[in-house]
Amino acid sequence: MTAVGFVGLGIMGSPMAGHLVAAGHQVTGFDLATEAVRKLAQTGGRTAGSVAEAVDGAEVVITMLPADPQVEQVVLGEGGVLEAAKPGTLVIDMSTIRPETSQAVARAATERGLRALDAPVSGGETGARQASLSIMVGGAEADFAQARPLLEALGKTIVHVGPAGAGQVVKAANQLVVGGIYALVSEAIVLLEAAGVDPGPGLDVLAGGLAANRILDLKRESMIARQFQPGFRIDLHHKDMGIVLAAARQAEVALPVSALIAQLIAAGRAMGYGSLDHSALLRVVEQLSGRPA
Amino acid sequence: MTAVGFVGLGIMGSPMAGHLVAAGHQVTGFDLATEAVRKLAQTGGRTAGSVAEAVDGAEVVITMLPADPQVEQVVLGEGGVLEAAKPGTLVIDMSTIRPETSQAVARAATERGLRALDAPVSGGETGARQASLSIMVGGAEADFAQARPLLEALGKTIVHVGPAGAGQVVKAANQLVVGGIYALVSEAIVLLEAAGVDPGPGLDVLAGGLAANRILDLKRESMIARQFQPGFRIDLHHKDMGIVLAAARQAEVALPVSALIAQLIAAGRAMGYGSLDHSALLRVVEQLSGRPA
Amino acid sequence: MTAVGFVGLGIMGSPMAGHLVAAGHQVTGFDLATEAVRKLAQTGGRTAGSVAEAVDGAEVVITMLPADPQVEQVVLGEGGVLEAAKPGTLVIDMSTIRPETSQAVARAATERGLRALDAPVSGGETGARQASLSIMVGGAEADFAQARPLLEALGKTIVHVGPAGAGQVVKAANQLVVGGIYALVSEAIVLLEAAGVDPGPGLDVLAGGLAANRILDLKRESMIARQFQPGFRIDLHHKDMGIVLAAARQAEVALPVSALIAQLIAAGRAMGYGSLDHSALLRVVEQLSGRPA
Amino acid sequence: MTAVGFVGLGIMGSPMAGHLVAAGHQVTGFDLATEAVRKLAQTGGRTAGSVAEAVDGAEVVITMLPADPQVEQVVLGEGGVLEAAKPGTLVIDMSTIRPETSQAVARAATERGLRALDAPVSGGETGARQASLSIMVGGAEADFAQARPLLEALGKTIVHVGPAGAGQVVKAANQLVVGGIYALVSEAIVLLEAAGVDPGPGLDVLAGGLAANRILDLKRESMIARQFQPGFRIDLHHKDMGIVLAAARQAEVALPVSALIAQLIAAGRAMGYGSLDHSALLRVVEQLSGRPA
């Protein structure tokens, strides 16, 4: 049993904290939304009235926050996790943020005698509920070893991918490939339909050859039917493409395809599709070809 | 048993014609390269000294040619297949060409009392040798029904995808997705490596989630190791991206991602990688990031 | 005085032929549209009932045709200019077509003992009417010297830019820069407006510095006011971007920005703006940002 | 005569502060580089040992800093300009930064009873030395009116373009157009040269028509000759394209061409050309076409 402080009980964090309680850990949770904290209490968790209270006495602190500013405030800021945690505490930030922010967290943790891992996830709300997330972990090997049993209560694929920030870089790589494949499948569908070809049998052929990919497997029927219930919202993928380009800038690489994809996803959001599933990138590609919904 | 005229006995056509002979058909082959014709004879095929001779007496004519100009000459040109074939002959062009050329072939065939299918393939030289090609067929349903037993000697996935030209459109859609995924995986690898992350475990995570795709399965190890033996040459993918953009122009759609991919593949060829496998697109992405081979 | 055969009396060719008549040349014109031929007669030109008749007895033949297929038919085809012209005739093709087609014309002309120049123009309908066209000429120096006095009746800037096809390459370079600047100015306007900045003073600053360009000078007011009367239609620029990419493919270069611009212009056409001025590219950029007309 | 505090005496700030001294103002300057401060003293300015000292007693404070982090520290941070300035002081930040940072400065200034303008410049080191800068000003009309006499000592074109942040948005629009035109001219040169056309006469034609632009006027000879002495370094343009994309993200617009240009400029930096003039974007385009330096 581990004493865990858990900050950030949103759509993702709430079921994750619940899995840790179910696994027998002593979880003390905090969120600005009191309803979320109450929900944790109902599952057997303890509740805290502040970040500092959640962190107090914890051996491990897990944070699951929306974006960089929240991590900067909750983890790095005044009265935040690093200030409140006792020496030796392991801080696992599972938020998807910029690698440079994760590295800043790691440096600040070390300066205060703490240890930090970045451990962003993929698999979305379903993965969080079913404890089937993929978890990409950056940080020291020994810290990863300590974290692993906890993370195994949350996901199925748990991989240590490198030093501080590496988890975020792998998550960024994942999101650029996922966003890009949605764009490619969208262009394929628009080309097929505009040429008078039934996209169903056409995509069946693609799914049977070198073009095969999971998005084609899971989403080609819903995309052809224009069903775009999330899933993973375009707004979130837009945030993630910002991270991809920030990671590229930090690594001093040029990613022309990713940059173009990022603009198409930004277009999806600007066109009003931000709350739809990211497969709604098809809507952007359609409109570019004068084929409105 | 069907009397088949086969024109184009190159790397693809030669094993394909051999499979038809092995399946018990009477195959009369022609190619400008006499060595290729001799090889067919050794496997039990008949040889012809001209297109007209190969077509003479055939119930079905199959053509497997490099590109649009050859189809225009061999099928549509003077002394070509359509001129030489007897009324009622079924012409199956298995070359990868522009949809509009396939449609011109179909129209010209109809005018002469012949029937035509476009039936481009994917699966490459290996697929041709192992009779495991995917075959995308455009044309009339009845003609497809007649062709199917022959095509089953050549491939495993044989799908009727629509009217004349539809086979080419589906092939184009396939090539845009394949080329695009190579570019995305390349950008992912360059980002990971430049950020100091070992790409092996990183791509393993991607391969286990929504980013999963066959290229990642088959090629991530060889790409990380910079092994680019073909496979399918960049020169050929460059030709195919020309078809993708011609198909888009004909269908009056805008495909920005495909257009950018086409330029990166053109860059690969211009940089001298035309004879390498298309996974060598990684070389282009590397050089754009100042990370030369 | 020169005996000139003139084939192609459309929006551009009609005033151009008129200028040659006015300059004292004996112009025999042909067009499939008989009304256009009659109009030439009214200005003092002679009329022909066929290409061959227009070419008969001409020292110089000028062609001004819509696109590659028309040049292939009218110049290279059966009963076309090259077949009908007497040895030594100078053929000046002023159509905007692919460099490779111009080179094919030049080669075919040489084979028949004729001489050919490619001489595409910029300046549009207004330039044709006002005899103020820019004319980019590819071909032999001596042939250019012979053509120059005639061309001086049609334009103000007449430049010999290189061997056969070079005129088309320069025209392609021109069109890629023009299309690209329209896209850039469009993105600038959308950014300014979406950020709540009055684009008028903003673009005034741009027009006074390193960003200064003729499109900003001539079109920023009409673009901000969304006035898109042609001018030069998006449909025509779409055709020209096809030439740009064909020229790039022939020259084995990769032009990523041009390729993306080509798709945005294709989008303009697909969205129904083909008959508007090319400055209507702004409409495409607006819609991508969810800011419909 | 105005009492001016001036923070940031680099390549740009140093001559600018000198012009204000020459115009009769009492200028107190500070920079971390003591040599820069000493130089100001030699021209008749006063020197300060800290930001607070430079601001002390100033009616107007001008800051000219490299990027967002420096503005966040020097203007917004502890002991910074806003903390040290007396109520009513006008703070003119002439740095090129993100619009959202300028807006944060303006809000923070208002909260402290101060007033702020964002006033980024274009024209580079030469413009700073010759007092010929273009200055794009965002903020309140009355504050602009007060600032104008000072700014007139620094530049020739001084335009109030809108509320807080508007100056930065216009600067961003300027940089996207400038960067884009460099890319377009680079693609034109590579196409011409690869097609065997002398780029000199070719670009002369472009410079005489609708494609005309100041970059073509000023830089086509040096670009053709591959002379890339700065001028304005690629590293700086890379920084500015980061601002362009941040401004686009804030304004919720999609700018595909700008995003691609940003990656090409990032490639220039990654390839080692960061210290060359931004016209060295030609090197990137060349290498993409396999035409190395």
Quote the DSSP letter at residue A67: S
C264 at the D interface (CB within 8 A)?
yes
- Where does the pLDDT of residue D241 fall: very low under 50, low under 70, confident under 90, or very high at 90 and above? very high
pLDDT in tens, A19-66: 999 999 999 999 999 999 999 999 999 999 999 999 999 999 999 999
Say what the pLDDT of residue B231 is.
86
CB pairs under 8 A between A and D: 43
Please give the mean pLDDT across all residues of chain C: 97
DSSP string, C68-114: HHHHIIIIISTTSHHHHSPTT-EEEE-S---HHHHHHHHHHHHHTT-
Structural tokens at position B149:
């037993």
Rounded mean pLDDT, A150-162? 97
Question: Residue B32 to residues B9, B19, B46, B79, B123: CA-CA distances in angstroms?
Answer: 9, 21, 15, 14, 24
Q: Report whether CATH 1.10.10.1110 matches the domain C3-162.
A: no
- Where does the pLDDT of residue D267 fall: very low under 50, low under 70, confident under 90, or very high at 90 and above? very high
CB within 8 Å: A290 and C284? no
A154 to chain D nearest CA, in Å?
33
Say what the pLDDT of residue C283 is.
98
- Where does the pLDDT of residue C293 fall: very low under 50, low under 70, confident under 90, or very high at 90 and above? confident
C251 at the B interface (CB within 8 A)?
no
DSSP string, B77-94: STTSHHHHSPTTPEEEE-
pLDDT in tens, A53-106: 999 999 999 999 999 999 999 999 999 999 999 999 999 999 999 999 999 999
- Where does the pLDDT of residue B293 fall: very low under 50, low under 70, confident under 90, or very high at 90 and above? confident
- Where does the pLDDT of residue C292 fall: very low under 50, low under 70, confident under 90, or very high at 90 and above? confident
Structural tokens at position B40:
């067919």
Question: In the predicted model, is pLDDT for residue B257 greater than 90?
Answer: yes
* CATH architecture label of B3-163: 3-Layer(aba) Sandwich (3.40)
Question: In the predicted model, is pLDDT for residue D143 greater than 80?
Answer: yes
Say what the pLDDT of residue C230 is.
87
Rounded mean pLDDT, C172-192? 98
Tokens 């044989």 sit on residue: B158
B67 at the C interface (CB within 8 A)?
no
B22 at the C interface (CB within 8 A)?
no
Q: Which residue of C has its CA nearest to B252?
A: C270
CB pairs under 8 A between B and D: 32
Extended beta strands in chain C, E state: 3-7, 26-30, 46-47, 60-63, 90-93, 115-118, 121-122, 133-138, 155-162
D249 at the A interface (CB within 8 A)?
yes
CB within 8 Å: A266 and D260? no
Q: Which of residues 128-157 of D touch C (CB under 8 A)?
A: 134, 136, 157
Q: Which residue of C has its CA nearest to D288?
A: C254
CB within 8 Å: C195 and D250? yes
| End-to-end Cα distance, chain D | 53
Question: Residue B67 to residues B11, B55, B94, B123: CA-CA distances in angstroms?
Answer: 14, 20, 11, 17
Say what the pLDDT of residue D23 is.
97
Question: Residue D281 to residues B285, D183, D261: CA-CA distances in angstroms?
Answer: 16, 6, 10
Rounded mean pLDDT, D69-96? 97
C26 to chain D nearest CA, in Å?
30
pLDDT in tens, A104-137: 999 999 999 999 999 999 999 999 999 999 999 9
Exposure of C153 in the CB half-sphere (CA atoms within 13 A): 19
Rounded mean pLDDT, B120-129? 95
Could you give the percent of chain B with pLDDT greater than 90?
98
C-alpha A248 chain-centroid distance: 18
Going by C-beta distance under 8 Å and a sequence separation of 6 or more, which residues neighbour residue C92? C60, C61, C62, C63, C116, C117, C119, C147, C150, C151
From B253, B267, B270, residue closest to C270, measured CB to CB: B253
C255 to chain B nearest CA, in Å?
6
CB within 8 Å: A290 and C271? yes
Crossing angle between the packed helical segments D166-194 and D256-268, to the nearest 10 degrees: 70
Question: In the predicted model, is pLDDT for residue D292 greater than 80?
Answer: yes
Distance CA C35, CA C14 (A): 11
Please give the mean pLDDT across all residues of chain A: 97
What DSSP element (H or E) covers D228?
none
Please give the mean pLDDT across all residues of chain B: 97
CB within 8 Å: B210 and A214? yes
Neighbour subunits, D (≥3 Cβ pairs < 8 A): A, B, C
Residue tagged active-site, from B39, B86, B171, B239: B171
Rounded mean pLDDT, A227-248? 96
C-alpha C3 chain-centroid distance: 24
CB within 8 Å: D252 and C177? no
CB within 8 Å: C263 and B256? yes
Query: Counting beta carbons within 10 angstroms of the beta carbon of residue D35, is it exposed (0 to 12), middle (13 to 18) or buried (19 or more)?
Result: exposed
A252 to chain D nearest CA, in Å?
6
| Contact in structure between D15 and D129 (CB atoms under 8 Å) | yes
Question: In the predicted model, is pLDDT for residue C67 greater than 90?
Answer: yes
C-beta atoms surrounding C107 within 10 Å:
12
- Phi (first) and psi of residue B60, to 5 degrees: -130, 135
Three-class secondary structure of residue A7 per DSSP: strand
Say what the pLDDT of residue D230 is.
87
Quote the DSSP letter at residue C241: H
CB within 8 Å: A184 and B176? yes
Question: In the predicted model, is pLDDT for residue B112 greater than 80?
Answer: yes
Quote the DSSP letter at residue D280: G
Domain ranges of chain C: 3-162, 169-288
A169 at the B interface (CB within 8 A)?
yes
Say what the pLDDT of residue B230 is.
87
Where does B169-288 sit in CATH, by number? 1.10.1040.10
| Contact in structure between A177 and B131 (CB atoms under 8 Å) | no
Question: Residue C35 to residues C7, C31, C40, C41: CA-CA distances in angstroms?
Answer: 14, 9, 9, 10
A215 at the B interface (CB within 8 A)?
yes
Query: Counting beta carbons within 10 angstroms of the beta carbon of residue C225, is it exposed (0 to 12), middle (13 to 18) or buried (19 or more)?
Result: exposed
| Contact in structure between D144 and D117 (CB atoms under 8 Å) | yes
Say what the pLDDT of residue B292 is.
83
From B136, B163, B257, residue closest to A183, measured CB to CB: B257
Distance CA D37, CA D53 (A): 13
B266 to chain D nearest CA, in Å?
8
> Long-range contacts for A146-149 (Cβ within 8 Å, ≥24 apart)?
A146/A60, A146/A90, A147/A60, A147/A90, A147/A92, A147/A117, A147/A119, A149/A2
D284 contacts in chain B (CB < 8 Å): 288
